[in-house]
């Protein structure tokens, strides 16, 4: 069972995900050059993509998370046995 603190953290991460997905800096500056414009668009794209990734991760099952972590040092079972997370 998730603790109140875990639920609060999850809710905060969901809000962050939405903010990142909704981020847009479309302010046009007449003094903005091509490079500045491309950087602005790149930042918008990167933040939106991070929000999409975070959103996807937040709704993954434990089995999906385990699959993503396979081959890494920290699997869910390892993290539970080391007391880093609750089962």
The 10s digit of each residue's pLDDT in 41-50 is 899 999 999 9
Helix, strand counts (H, E) of the chain: 4, 0
pTM above 0.75, yes or no: no
Tens digit of pLDDT for each residue in 3-41?
A: 788 888 888 988 999 999 988 887 777 788 889 889 988
Locate tokens 């603790």: which residue?
Answer: 3
C-beta separation of 63 from 74 below 8 A: no
CB burial class (10 A; 0-12, 13-18, 19+) of residue 17?
Answer: buried
- Cβ(58)–Cβ(10) below 8 Å: yes
pLDDT reported for residue 87: 61
């Amino acid at each position: 069972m998730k603790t109140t603190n875990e639920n609060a953290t999850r809710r905060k991460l969901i809000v962050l995900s939405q903010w990142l997905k909704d981020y847009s800096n479309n302010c046009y500056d007449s003094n903005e050059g091509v490079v500045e414009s491309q950087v602005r668009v790149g930042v918008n794209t990167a933040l939106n993509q991070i929000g999409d990734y975070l959103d996807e991760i937040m709704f993954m099952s434990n089995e999906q998370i385990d699959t993503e972590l396979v081959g890494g040092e920290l699997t869910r079972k390892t993290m539970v046995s080391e007391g880093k997370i609750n089962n």
